[in-house]
């Protein structure tokens, strides 16, 4: 079978690998669509394990079933979660599923940018979700990223009517905007340095946008009745954006670090001001099973407009071009690889 083997952002090669053999409790899934995530092009995060087949936003068709598998059949249309929690450790029982050691060890074989993948038994047990009839394979690639966004807004305790500043209007920023609008947020303001993405932010629910080269805190006040933002959602890890986040949050508000700087970079926090004004800083990583299930329902009910975020549908042979598009972050939003295109 063909796979897109990642060596670095500028070197993604189509190579041949054997179709995986499955065990009695496993599934073989024919990958129909696989989204390129922003994390796939974070070289500091990925290159240490290269070469490897990336891709974790996949949908596909079950084509082979292990003898011990009872709940699925050939032809089932599925979303497959790559990381799954144990559901029994102290972290899972406390609601912190994405801190679970099992979640960080699990994955499918070899990765989503392949024609077929083997779903291990533990993923079959707790990481397979049937796609609703009215959900396309393409729309299903948004289940994982939207689940991550849901978790982020949940841990930030985002509530209806609150003002929001989204810093960075790539795909994660746009999903945050669209979800917040769907859930009844107050004024939503978005930033980016790219006019294409600023226009996309307006299209998907932002009330106003700011070019990140401007004085962002000052502009937020002008656009938000003289107040800073109650919730600042950071969707880029570059330090100027981090500085803007620290300066743009209102008293009693929250900064959600949905994206973070590279390892080794420390953030200077004005902790005395944050203490005096009761400002909170939160982080969010990944998605739990409940977040993924909720994401499926939101997409099924068309509460989040994911289909219109797709800008590129590429073949396996165009995977390298897809990585280039996402890494450059210029005139693309969601790039999807369709191995059988």
Say if residue 47's pLDDT is above 90: no
pLDDT in the model for residue 278: 97
Q: How far is CA 168 from CA 42, 105, 180, 245, 319, in A?
A: 15, 30, 15, 11, 24
E-strand ranges in the chain read: 2-8, 11-16, 27-35, 52-53, 57-65, 77-80, 116-119, 128-130, 164-167, 188-192, 208-211, 229-234, 249-257, 280-283, 310-314, 334-337
Q: Is the pLDDT reported for residue 44 higher than 90?
A: no
Quote the pTM value.
Answer: 0.96
- Looking at the chain, which residues constitute the CATH 3.40.50.720 domain(s)? 157-283
Residue 14 CA to residue 308 CA, distance in Å, equals 28
pLDDT at 327: 93
Average pLDDT over residues 230-259: 97
Q: Say whether pLDDT at 305 is over 90.
A: no
Task: Write out the residue limits of the CATH 3.90.180.10 domain(s) in the chain.
Answer: 2-144+287-337
Strands 249-257 and 280-283: parallel
For residue 211, what pLDDT is reported? Answer: 98
Q: Which CATH class is domain 157-283?
A: alpha beta
The C-alpha angle 192, 197, 199, rounded to 5 degrees, equals: 110
CATH placement of domain 2-144+287-337: 3.90.180.10
Tell me: the pLDDT tens digits for 285-297? 999 999 999 999 9
pLDDT above 90 coverage of the chain, percent:
96
- What is the structure's pLDDT at 45? 85
Average pLDDT over residues 157-162: 95
| Cβ(74)–Cβ(63) below 8 Å | yes
Residue 272 confidence (pLDDT)? 96
């Amino acid at each position: 079978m063909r796979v897109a083997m990642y060596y670095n952002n500028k070197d993604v090669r189509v190579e041949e690998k054997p179709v995986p053999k499955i065990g009695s409790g496993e599934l073989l899934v024919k990958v129909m669509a696989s989204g390129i995530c922003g994390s796939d092009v974070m070289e500091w995060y990925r290159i240490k394990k290269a070469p490897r087949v990336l891709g974790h936003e996949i949908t596909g068709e079950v084509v082979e079933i292990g003898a011990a598998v009872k709940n699925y059949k050939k032809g089932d249309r599925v979303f497959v979660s790559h990381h799954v929690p144990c559901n029994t450790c102290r972290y899972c029982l406390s609601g912190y599923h994405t801190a679970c050691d099992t979640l960080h060890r699990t994955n499918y074989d070899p990765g989503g940018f392949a024609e077929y993948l083997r779903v291990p038994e533990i993923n079959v047990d707790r990481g397979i979700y049937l796609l609703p009839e009215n959900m396309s394979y393409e729309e299903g690639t948004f289940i994982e990223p939207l689940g991550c966004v849901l978790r982020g807004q949940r841990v930030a305790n985002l509530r209806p009517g609150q003002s929001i500043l989204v810093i960075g209007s790539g795909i994660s920023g746009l999903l945050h905007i669209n979800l917040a609008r769907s859930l009844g947020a107050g004024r939503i303001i978005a930033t980016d340095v790219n006019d294409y993405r600023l226009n996309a932010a307006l299209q998907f629910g932002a009330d106003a946008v700011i070019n990140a080269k401007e004085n962002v805190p000052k502009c937020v006040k002008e656009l938000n009745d003289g107040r800073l933002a109650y919730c600042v959602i950071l969707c880029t890890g570059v330090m100027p954006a981090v500085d803007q986040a620290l300066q743009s949050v209102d008293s009693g508000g929250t900064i959600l670090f949905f994206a973070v700087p590279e390892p080794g970079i420390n953030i200077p926090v004005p902790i005395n001001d944050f203490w005096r004004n009761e400002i909170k800083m939160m982080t969010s990583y990944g998605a739990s099973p409940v977040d993924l299930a909720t994401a499926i329902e939101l997409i099924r009910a068309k509460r989040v407009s994911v289909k219109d975020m797709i800008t590129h549908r590429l073949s396996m042979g165009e995977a390298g071009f897809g990585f280039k598009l996402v890494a450059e972050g210029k005139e693309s939003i969601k790039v999807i690889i369709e191995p059988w295109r």
